[in-house]
Structure 1
Amino acid sequence: MTEERYPKVEHYVGEIKGGLRPAMKLTVIGMVHSNPKSFSVTLLCDPVDANKDVGLLFKVNFSDKSITRNARIAGKWGREEKTIPYFPFTAGDTFKMELLCEHQQIRVLLDGRQLCDFTHRIQPLNLVKALQISGDIKLTKVA
């Protein structure tokens, strides 16, 4: 029974074969834990060394209902972007998140609705080689 109350924190790392490129779509389907604090979806340049550059950190914080986006280049985090039209995540609910890579930006859709965009800061895009997901969610599918 304790398993249900303290679900294990998800930690997933998947390689993006050949690196990120325009017209590529990453899909994350999962379920938010019943008492979530936060989770993050991160596009990494190095799947092994998480201290390397980050193409996109998408961090969902339930305590203040915020979604923060940022990137790390040459070891330095850039300017945070926090504007969202609505907070789409609910404890205990399933969600489908799609990251659409376009030429200028990554477009984030949630359950088919556009949530936000994040302009690429890392060039060339194919330096982004891995998807990392961690936090208070249970993944059902990553594609």
Structure 2
Amino acid sequence: MAFVPAPGYKPTFNPSLPYNQPIPGGLSVGMSVYIQGVASEHMKRFFVNFTVGQGPGADIAFHFNPRFDGWDKVVFNAQQGGRWGNEEKKRSMPFSKGAAFELVFLVMAEHYKVVVNGNPFYEFGHRLPLQMVTHLQVDGDLELQSINFIGGQPAPNDSPMTIPAYPDMQGPPTFNPPVPFEGRLQGGLTSRRTITIKGYVPPTSQSFVINFKVGLSGDLALHINPRLSEGVVVRNSYLNGSWGSEERKLSYNPFGRGQFFDLSIRCGVDRFKVYANGQHLFDYSHRFSAFQRVDILEIKGDVTLSYVHI
């Protein structure tokens, strides 16, 4: 089974630079764009542009431009007809050279809201109608790990909207939820359902857990436990008051201190398929046959969450 993102969640992993690609379905209110990457050790600047078209002369509805130039700052602007508008700037640098980051653009009715590493950073008022924006450009002194388009209008090949801003979703995602987190799986865990979790492992993290739980009994159909101090990811089930045998073998471990992760957990008929950052991580055969009774997603421990969609 190949990686299948949750509906309304369109990730691209490890894109090359310069990045200049269409925004699926175009830009609309309620959409968010997540960019995870690592700032270069020798960073001088990078930019993110929301553009009207793809060509070199395209208008830029929003230009986001961090600059390490001795007067560390972030510049915001727009360009129309080849001419830059009035420059806005913030003399504060939320990025650190050599460090991982998560940059989020929330598309609001009046402005773009910029969030860096979970902290609100700036609001840039619309100068061009956001409905005109068609492409996203990223380039500069950074390494891209993922770009995610969440919500918004469906692309032509998507199914129609079922709820505002989030096509085909069973419910809206939760942004920056506190930990411990408990989310209810309405209707239980069904085959082909995909759960998406985006988060950050703090530098001091020792361990955290992700549990698929039966609320009435406390049984855990799947327990995922990254143990940073041991460098392992333990998987297990807790059924009828007892733990089963642990599974530990992995070809790689995506959970590193100071790193962001993008986890996709897909329930199949006979197993869970788990992907991290777009790469297959492990399969876990069902030990709890009535997985439809799993109705709670529980996340706790040394982790910071930026996005959960159940």
Shared fold per TM-score greater than 0.5: yes
Match of 2:184 in 1: 15
Matched, 1:100 2:266: yes
1:18 and 1:71 map into 2 onto residues whose CA distance is 21
Q: Which of 253, 273, 280 is residue 114 of structure 1 equivalent to? A: 280
1:63 and 1:18 map into 2 onto residues whose CA distance is 36
- Structure 1 gap segments, 5+ residues each: 1-8
Q: Which of 190, 204, 211 is residue 42 of structure 1 equivalent to? A: 211
Match of 2:301 in 1: 135
Q: Which of 175, 192, 195 is residue 26 of structure 1 equivalent to? A: 195
1:56 and 1:89 map into 2 onto residues whose CA distance is 18
Match of 2:28 in 1: none
CA deviation string 1:98-131 (max 9, x = no partner):
1011111001100000011111111211111110
Q: Which of 195, 220, 223 is residue 57 of structure 1 equivalent to? A: 223
CA deviation string 1:48-73 (max 9, x = no partner):
x6x72111110000111011101111
The percent of aligned pairs where both chains have the same amino acid is 29
Q: What amino acid is aligned across from residue 25 of structure 1 in structure 2?
A: T
1:117 and 1:37 map into 2 onto residues whose CA distance is 24
Q: Aligned to 2:180, what secondary structure does the other structure show?
A: strand
1:95 and 1:132 map into 2 onto residues whose CA distance is 17
1:94 and 1:63 map into 2 onto residues whose CA distance is 17
Report how far residue 23 of structure 1 moved. 0.5
Match of 1:91 in 2: 257
Aligned length: 132
1:85 and 1:65 map into 2 onto residues whose CA distance is 12
1:62 and 1:34 map into 2 onto residues whose CA distance is 10
CA deviation string 1:67-90 (max 9, x = no partner):
110111111111111111111112
Report how far residue 10 of structure 1 moved. 2.3
Q: Aligned to 1:91, what secondary structure does the other structure show?
A: coil
Report how far residue 94 of structure 1 moved. 1.1
Match of 1:3 in 2: none
Q: How does 1:65-84 map to 2 (within 5 A)?
A: 65-84=231-250
1:108 and 1:97 map into 2 onto residues whose CA distance is 7
- Structure 2 gap segments, 5+ residues each: 1-177
2:220 and 2:278 map into 1 onto residues whose CA distance is 25
**Any runs of at least 4 consecutive aligned residues in structure 1 with deviations exceeding 3 A, and if so which?**
none
Q: TM-score, normalised by structure 2?
A: 0.41
1:35 and 1:77 map into 2 onto residues whose CA distance is 27
Q: What amino acid is aligned across from residue 128 of structure 1 in structure 2?
A: V
RMSD over aligned Cα atoms: 1.3
